[in-house]
Amino acid sequence: MRRPPRSETRQRALRETASLKLMTENPPSRQAWVILVIGVLSQMAATVAITGPAFLIPYMHTELDYTLTQAGTVAAAPSFGLIVTLIAWGAFADRFGERLAMTLGIGLTAVACALTVLVVDSPVWTVIGIAASGAAAASVNSASGRVVMGWFPRHRRGLAMGIRQMSPPLGTSVAALAIPPIAAAHGLTGYLWFVAALTGAMTLVCFAFVRNPPGAGAEAAVARTSGDDARLAPAPESEPRVEPAKMTNPYRMDSFLWRIHGVSALLVIPQFAFATYGLIWLIANQHISAGIAGGIVAASQIVGALGRMVVGGLSDRLGSRVGLLRVVAIAAVVFVAAIALLSLSPKPIIASVVFILASAVSVADNGLAFASVAEAAGPRWSGKAMGTQNTGQFAMSAILGPGFGALITVFGYPLSFAIVAAAPLLSLGFIPKQDVDRIT
């Protein structure tokens, strides 16, 4: 076997040495970890507002006599609101900073929920109010990811975004445990007051503790422009910042961002199917009691949250986001197909275990995709790019709300989940071969 040239071996050794030096000499600051904690908590609160209506489906279906299609439309209302405002909130964060975007957006979420209480007797106005809360909560989706990427160096961004992306499944688990009993006891009004109180509290936290990243956020991590190993280290404060993506639209430079957006839109299909219809599937198809089914959904979200952190940290160690993204997509195909097979006949114990694993796999891609998008977009475009990323995902979710409910009504659970399994299979053809990083 041919040995690599001595110069190439030496350069590789220099890069590895510089990378280890960077990891030990340039750790994340204490403020970075504070920001990460707040980012997780604020995204959890926003997630409760966004996914909460999905856990009203059993209540609406049994108590209010909604069809699955009608209940799915209510569950998808926050996604419709998100679609309208995600990119705008991302641009707002790029221009005015993450602190203002997060505080204003989560505050407006609380206001929208509180005002919807006044019109809860009108189904149409209730849907509009819930959609408005989703439109406001979209600010956190873009800004909290942007602020985390801005405070952490590259060798810790995968882990940081993995932890930050734990917040949607954790928020979903909170919703799964809290909302069904609240709805049973106090109806839609109780749900709306619960979300208003939660997001209102996080408004005060964001205002008090969130700080924008130093400089222009992610620009503070821009690398030196010369030397074999110096390019791995951040530029000192005394040197001018290099802004490679300041004037150039990253969407025009290559197809990487478009492909990641497409992959994520496809991979969100099984994620949304499990998050929205998993509870009713466990109850109606597997004959599990509502209380136990809620606990299973909550457990699946917690396992998924931990999986995002592990996968994010692993991407830092391996130095590849898209490689792991491909592994996750393959696993999603396998587990969704397993859910389709289990839908043929009730097997409660096996179904519970497989559902937890399938749900965890279905959310494992988010941290990888968001880190890839932010890095490929560069500091001047990361907010808009993450807004675009979320727009594609929630657009698909909005379609799936009533769409998957209608699919189940017509074809039943086995064939419906078999159709869902085609989405991650299709995504394999769009995953890029290599990462792109325009921040460092």
- Degrees (nearest 5) of the Cα angle 123, 83, 279? 60
Instruction: Name the most confidently modeled range: 77-91, 128-142, 145-159.
Output: 128-142
pLDDT (0 to 100) of residue 6:
52
- Cα gap 91→94, rounded to integer Å: 5
Distance CA(72)–CA(77), nearest Å, equals 9
**What integer is the mean pLDDT of 169-195?**
89
pLDDT interval class at 351 (50, 70, 90): very high
Apex 371 CA angle, 172 and 169, nearest 5 = 10
List the chain domain ranges: 28-427
Residue type, 130: I
- The pLDDT tens digits of the residues spanning 299-349 come to 887 888 888 888 888 888 888 889 899 999 999 999 999 999 999 999 999
Q: Is 240 exposed, middle or buried (0-12, 13-18, 19+ CB in 10 A)?
A: exposed
Residue 191 near residue 179, CB atoms below 8 Å = yes
Query: In the prediction, which pLDDT does 240 show?
Result: 36
Length of the chain in residues, anyone? 440
Tens digits of residue pLDDT in 396-419: 877 777 788 888 889 999 999 999
Condensed to tens digits (0 to 9), the pLDDT of residues 246-266 reads 457 888 888 999 999 999 999
Lowest mean pLDDT among 5-19, 290-304, 337-351: 5-19
Query: Mean pLDDT over all residues of the chain?
Result: 81
Cα separation, 395 vs 86, whole angstroms: 11
CA dist 186 and 31 (Å) reads: 40
Confidence of residue 177 (pLDDT cuts 50, 70, 90): confident
Report which DSSP code applies to 55.
Answer: G
CATH architecture of 28-427: Up-down Bundle (1.20)
**Residue 239 predicted with pLDDT over 50:** no
